[in-house]
Amino acid sequence: MSKDGLQLSALVVAHNEEAQLAARLECLSFADETVVVLDKCTDDSKTVAMDYTDRLIEGSWERDGERRNAGIEACLGAWIFEIDADERVPDALAGEIRAVIESPDGDIFNIPVDNYVGDRLVRHGWGGLFGKNGYPGLFRKGVKVWGRERVHPHLHVSGRQGADLKTPISHYIDRDISDMLMRLDRYTTLRALDLADSGDIGSFPNMVRKIFSRFWKCYVSRRGYREGGHGFVIALCAALYPVLSHLKAALEPAP
């Protein structure tokens, strides 16, 4: 097993998150250690993190996948629980995680996500790379490796998939519609760089088709319509993501 006989490491990646880092680390005390990756932090994130753990990894990573892999590497536990900047762990989930790794039926587990826009829980319609309903956040060390893409890195998973956990993690994804649009802008800028790197930015007509197919997928198949206006905006952003990425790659060469 692992070096210090630790059973569970919690892994957090932070980039200037002093405002919400304390709340996030507070709810991770159920793990045997907390590893915090501080990526290009220029604020007080480090001071905040030091109140909770001495397992800090400081550095500068250009790509999300590499940063996450460095964090996973640093974890000493036999199991790793990975959470994001804007997520909170309810007590029930903490209990469930400890119970699952006591008698695991797999090597990697999906954790359901409750996404909030502002104060409002928005359950339906996520997807199309604009939001997630679940993610493989609990895994045995060594079974999960992140790919090198700038945005939405691919996962290389080698273990056996266990049954999904039941308690959702709370994800404060956007404060409002402006936040959604700014996130759409950031994602598509990064995606454009990935497309340019790959040498295949796709064709414009294909991306226009994707506007309609992705909108349909999120708004109808994933029942975004049940969320009213927010479901509409989510579907819209998911729909525009490919065409905006393509046009940024086509029209605006990286500096």
**Residues within the interface to other proteins (CB under 8 A):** 118, 176-178, 181-182, 184-185, 188-189, 204, 228-230, 232-233, 236, 240, 243-244, 247-248, 250-252
Tokens of 37: 């990756």
**Is 91 or 204 the residue whose CB approaches other proteins more closely?**
204
With a CB cutoff of 8 Å and minimum separation 6, the contacts of 230 are 117, 120, 122, 125
Radius of gyration of the chain, Cα coordinates, nearest whole angstrom: 19
CB of 250 to other proteins, least distance (A): 6
Q: Is the dihedral of CA 222, 226, 232, 237 positive or negative?
A: negative
Q: What's the closest the beta carbon of residue 124 comes to other proteins, in angstroms?
A: 15
214: left (phi over 0), alpha (psi -120 to 50) or beta: alpha
Q: Residue 169 forms beta bridges with which residues? A: 113
Residues 6+ apart with CB under 8 A from 29: none
Contact 173, 123 (CB under 8 A): no
50 CB neighbour count, 10 Å cutoff: 12
Residue number with CB closer to other proteins (143 or 243): 243
**CB-wise, 218 or 243, nearer to other proteins?**
243
We find the least distance from the C-beta atom of residue 67 to other proteins, in angstroms, to be 23
- Closest distance to other proteins from the beta carbon of 97 (Å): 34
Least distance in angstroms from the C-beta of 196 to other proteins: 14
Would you say 63 or 248 has its CB closer to other proteins?
Answer: 248
Half-sphere exposure of 6 (CA within 13 A, CB side): 20
Query: Please, which residue, 135 or 232, has the CB nearer to other proteins?
Result: 232
Nearest distance from residue 204's CB to other proteins, in Å?
Answer: 7
Q: Which lies closer to other proteins via its Cβ, residue 199 or residue 255?
A: 255
Tell me the β-bridge partners of 171. 87, 115
